């Protein structure tokens, strides 16, 4: 870990974090706190459910922090048309990043045309709008071959990031999955590690494996620990 600590500033680490609040419950204060922390630490973005997009846009006005909407979340089991509508609606309401869960069951049934179509449509909607798009694999349910297949489809479609997990599956990000995804997509596309990243050591291990974004609700804890570690 020492090599990463030596070459990564606190600001750079914070700028790799997607600060999340994706629970199905919570108060207005939870979202206000999320945005206030994101503004203070200059995280890359806040990751929220689409219903909170307009609120977060207002709370982050004048800040460089981006607003990210989770689409087809967390199961990915809506139709391609529904995901496309959700994406357009979130962007219309101010979202500047989109994280979409693939249809895992379609993938496992061998219906790659469905997976390909939903990814291509996301890119087609996001790219003209200048919106960053990420594909969530939900790696805990997939074989290595399936992970590689989705990463290849995503790369060919022109996504900005491939992402490990929703955080709602049976497991989250692993170093092995991040390394696999990085190997398949190469250096041009981002890899986002998400799910179960709650401390500095885990975050740095993901970065060392090839992650360029970290999705976590523990961003403040991670950055504060990093500040202490590099003193």
Q: Is 12 buried (19+), middle (13-18) or exposed (0-12) by CB count in 10 A? A: exposed
Short-list 128, 185, 195, CA closest to 162 = 185
Question: Is 163 noted as a catalytic residue in this protein?
Answer: yes
Selected catalytic residue, list 99, 116, 147, 177 = 99
Is there a contact between 138 and 169 (Cβ–Cβ < 8 Å)? Answer: yes
Q: How many Å apart are CA 131 and CA 95, to the nearest integer?
A: 8
What is the pairing mode between strands 161-163 and 17-21? unpaired
Instruction: Residue 13: count other Cβ atoms within 10 Å of its Cβ.
Output: 24
Q: 116, 134, 147, 192: which is the annotated catalytic residue? A: 192
Pick the catalytic residue from 83, 116, 147, 163: 163
- What backbone phi and psi angles, to 5 degrees, belong to 79? -75, 165
Residue 211 has a CB neighbour count (10 Å cut-off) of 29
What is the rounded CA–CA span in Å between residue 175 and residue 138?
Answer: 14
CB atoms within 10 A of CB 175: 15
Please list, in sequence order, all residues whose beta carbon lies within 8 angstroms of the beta carbon of residue 228, skipping any fewer than 6 positions away: none
Which residues are marked as active site? 99, 163, 192
């Amino acid at each position: 870990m020492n090599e990463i600590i030596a070459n990564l500033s606190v600001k750079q680490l914070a700028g790799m974090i997607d600060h999340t609040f994706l629970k199905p419950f919570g108060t207005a204060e939870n979202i206000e706190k999320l945005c206030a922390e994101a503004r203070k630490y200059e995280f890359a973005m806040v990751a929220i459910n689409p219903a909170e997009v307009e609120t977060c846009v207002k709370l982050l006005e004048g800040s460089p922090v981006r607003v990210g909407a989770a689409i087809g979340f967390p199961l990915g089991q809506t139709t391609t048309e529904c995901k496309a509508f959700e994406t357009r609606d979130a962007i219309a309401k101010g979202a500047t990043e989109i994280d979409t869960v693939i249809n895992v069951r379609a993938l496992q049934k061998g219906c790659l045309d469905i997976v390909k179509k939903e990814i291509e449509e996301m890119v087609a909607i996001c790219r003209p709008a200048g919106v960053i798009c990420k594909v969530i694999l939900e790696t805990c349910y997939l074989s290595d071959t399936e992970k590689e297949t989705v990463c290849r489809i995503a790369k060919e479609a022109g996504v900005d990031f491939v992402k490990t997990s929703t955080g709602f599956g049976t497991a989250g990000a692993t170093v092995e999955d991040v390394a696999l995804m990085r190997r398949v997509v190469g250096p041009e596309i981002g890899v986002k590690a998400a799910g179960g990243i709650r401390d500095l050591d885990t975050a740095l291990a993901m970065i060392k494996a090839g992650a360029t974004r970290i999705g976590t609700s523990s961003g403040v804890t991670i950055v504060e620990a990093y500040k202490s570690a590099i003193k």
